[in-house]
Each structure stands twice: as C-alpha cells, then as structure tokens.
Structure 1
C-alpha cells in the first residue's frame, strides 16, 4: 500500500497496546439503562453476576483529556490508531469468539494489535480499512478473541444512502426497540463515546451530512445478540456483524432473527418505518 498523504499505514501494522478494565456494577447499571426496552428483562447487576455478552465493550473507557479530542469527538489519531487524513471514522463491523464468560466487577485485561491497513475504493471514493485484533482475558479464565474493522473515509458534500436491503420476512422472532435521543445519549455515556454524530444534531447534519442522529453500531449488535439469546437460548460461541446502512434516531429499531439448518442464527437490525436492514449479524451457539 502506498503512503497516504505522507502517512504510510503499514508503519502501524503490529503496533500493540495493553489495557486493564472492569465493568463495575455502576457502569453495568448505566449500560442496562441504555439497552433496556419492553421485551428485555433487566439483568442482574450485582458484583459477581454474569456479564451479558458484548458488555465488555464498556469496560475499557478511553480517559482522553478534552484537549486531545478531535473535532468529531473521537480521540485524536496518531497514538495507537494511524493518523490517516480522512475526516470520518466508523466501526464498520467485527468478529468475535467466546470461551467461558466474564462477571460484573471482574478484572479484565485487553491486548490490542493493528493487524492490517488496506486501502480500497468505494462508491463514495477512497477509503482505508484498519483491522484491529483484541484478546480480552478475565481474572476467572474466560476470554474473547475479537477483530474490529474500522473504516476511514472522507465526509461527502451530501448524504447519499447505500442501497436499501429489505428486512427478510418469515423470521423466527422480531422485536421492536424504541429509539430516541435519550437512548443514544445514555449509550454514549455508558461507553464513554464522545462521537458527536450520536448526540449533536447540528453537527451530524451540518458537518457529517447525515439527515439525523446516528444510532451506534455496537449498540445495535448488542441488542440483536441479546434478543437472539432470549429466543434461542444457548451459549455464544462465535458472532460476526457488519453495518450495511446507517440507522437514524428518527425511526425505531427492529431486531430480527432466523435459525438456519446448521443451528446458527442469521440476524439483522432494521429501520422500523422504512423496513430496510441496517446491521447484519450471525451468531453461532455452543
């Protein structure tokens, strides 16, 4: 890959950082308040209670001083992630494998490594995908192997939506989650995510050219995972997801799943009013 505006992403491949984390009972309560909806029972939140799957995403907040945030609210690039000259950065998808589980209040350790930096060209122009690998280990022996795909691209002059994929019919389950500004704010607060597209409507519209506030991809993944486990039971073994269309806060969210012949669940989130998919996922159970 050639250098991108004097920054060669290959220089960041192999870069490693380690961090200590914990989902405390108070932080778990904040996350429960962000994810709760009528079809979801409130989980146990006391120390030692099982941590719901994917809640580890809130266990490692980045305590970056305000002066070290970029205009978009993300921590400025150039430390762990490469400082590529694109004005939009998004978590596009990921893959996880699980062994055992974590508990609320359990000490966690995360080792992260830049695995790949790939330049591509999409419908809106050049983009760069950074693949980050994480190994999260708990003090009690559980672990998660995770890869995240982070995409860098330029902000367009106007919003051009991707092709809409209809939510499939005949699903084994469908739930509807009310979406509003309070839910987005709570999830941003619980995950210490200051990306302004999730809570600053003038910024989302005027700077990043979105028509409304954007619903977090990780929140969608967590909600559809939890819905799948409520309906299918079992223990998660592997999970993968990717965003196919932005979800906006002016429509409620549908959570849909169908169990395949191999026992895995094909999942998606959708915009309730428009009827199109926003995030696709697949869950394999042990």
Structure 2
C-alpha cells in the first residue's frame, strides 16, 4: 500500500486543458432536467447568460464504451490516479465567479490535481482527490476546487448520521424527484455512473437502497433557488458538500435562509426531515 501511495502522489501537479461549449441544445437538455414549478425557465438563446453551475455540462468526456469501468465512469489511470477503490463520489466543492459565461460561446477549462490524501473513515480507508478547475469564456471566469472521494463498496448500506433540517428557513420548496429527472440530468451531463439510472446495479453492487440523486444536480438547484430568493443577485462564491445520500424514492426539498453576513445558508433535504447536501452562497 505504501508503494501504491507513492505512485498516487506522482499524480499531484498533473494538468489537462480541454475545450468546451454549452450549446443551445445542451442548455435545453439541462433546463428540462432542472425545471420545476417554482423556477422560471431561463433564456436559452445563443449569447444568453449561462445560469451558474451549468458550465459543468460543457465538457463531456467522450470516452469509448470499452474504456468505461463497471460503474459507468471512465477508468482511472489517465488524468486521475489509478486508485484501488470501487466507489467514487463527488463529495463537494468550492467555486468563485467573475463576469458572465454565456450559452454557445467557446470555453476553455484547465484542470490540475492539487492533492491525493488517504484517510480512515467510519467504514474503512478512503482517498480524497482535490482537483482545481479554471473555466474561462469571453467575459466570464469560474475558479473551482472539486473534492472526489474513493472508497470500497461496503457489504451493506450503513447510512451516515442524519442531520436535522434548519428551523425557520426563509424558503422551503419541494422539487419532484423521479427516474425521468435523474435520467435527463445524466444525459445532459454525459454521466454514465450507473447508481443514477440502473436500480439493480445500485442495489446489488453498490448496496444503496435506491437510485442516488446526483450531488451536482442538488447543488445547481440550490444555486438557482438561492439567487432567485436573493432577488436575482449574482454569485460571488459558492461551496457545497454532501452529508447524506439522497434517493429517488422521496422528493427533494430546497431550503435556505440568510445568515448575519448576508450570505445564504442552503441545504437539500428529504420530506422525512434530514439534510442531504449543505451549501453556502455568497453574493456580489
């Protein structure tokens, strides 16, 4: 294991640069995946302002089927280190925003691996990979740090501690969650991770009780709700982290309130009363 850790550390500092675009068609697919009764439809014409976090769909990985792992993700060992863990998850991230990205414009993303850290969790060893991304367009820029966690698949699902929902929120909206929404978001983001659409795989292989709702989708819905309730202000910074898996057997609650600094403390939650993803939104 020590020799393997040495190899993993060789990935620190590795970079890649990719070209992308959130086309009108991709923007329409995202709108169809994220839309709900409380959210107005965004403008989707070429040159329209790109809703924050939609840039995540602008750089699909066109990996041949032969290069996918059994979980549907691209196999490790290219840009990301070849870690010997079967489960991988987007655990959280931190973003800063400048200017405005736009639908249909050419984008460039430069990524760099900042850290590869092994830790001991409640269910065993895990490795956190921290990746920096800088996405630039004509007059917009997004700086981001992404936390990806890798761990073994357990013999049975043991949920983390359930955190109660905040009291007296400024808003508490409900978004219907079903297989169609998960499929649409997976399609729009070109995400083949099977836990989001393959129920037998999610249950029998990764030991989840149901289909898992995408963390980035939860974050994007929280961002939209937060900005809407803040009166259309622009984002300056956003951070989020998953605290409990969300499953497709319950609707999603979008909850938020202002803190003393004027930022919005946000979370997704379940109708049964616990948090799934926590976020903080700072405004311009």
Q: Which moved more, 1:204-213 or 1:229-238?
A: 229-238
* Secondary structure of 2:3's aligned partner: coil
User: What is residue 210 of structure 1 aligned with on the other side?
Assistant: 208
> Is 1:285 the equivalent of 2:246?
no
1:7 Cα offset (Å): 6.4
User: What is residue 3 of structure 1 aligned with on the other side?
Assistant: 3
Question: Residue 13 of structure 1 contacts residue 114 of structure 1 at CA under 8 Å; is this kept in 2?
Answer: yes
CA distance in 1, matches of 2:52, 2:58: 12
List runs of 5+ in structure 1 lacking aligned partners: none
Question: Residue 7 of structure 1 contacts residue 84 of structure 1 at CA under 8 Å; is this kept in 2?
Answer: no
CA distance in 2, matches of 1:52, 1:161: 33
User: What is residue 35 of structure 1 aligned with on the other side?
Assistant: 34
After superposition, the C-alpha distances for 1:130-155 in whole angstroms (9 at most, x for unaligned) are: 000001010x2210100000000000
CA distance in 1, matches of 2:184, 2:156: 28
CA distance in 2, matches of 1:125, 1:60: 33
1:161-240 mapped onto 2 (5 Å cutoff): 161-233=159-231, 234-240=233-239
CA distance in 1, matches of 2:102, 2:41: 16
After superposition, the C-alpha distances for 1:182-228 in whole angstroms (9 at most, x for unaligned) are: 00000000000000000000000000000000000000000011000
Give TM-score scaled by structure 2 length.
0.98
> Is 1:158 the equivalent of 2:156?
yes
User: What is residue 62 of structure 2 aligned with on the other side?
Assistant: 63
After superposition, the C-alpha distances for 1:66-101 in whole angstroms (9 at most, x for unaligned) are: 000000000000000001000001000000000001
After superposition, the C-alpha distances for 1:96-134 in whole angstroms (9 at most, x for unaligned) are: 000001110011000000000000001000000000000
Question: Residue 7 of structure 1 contacts residue 83 of structure 1 at CA under 8 Å; is this kept in 2?
Answer: no
CA distance in 1, matches of 2:8, 2:94: 22
List runs of 5+ in structure 2 lacking aligned partners: none
CA RMSD after TM alignment: 1.0
Moved over 6 A (4+): none
> Is 1:118 the equivalent of 2:114?
no
Give TM-score scaled by structure 1 length.
0.97
Q: Number of aligned residue pairs: give it.
A: 283
1:181 Cα offset (Å): 0.1
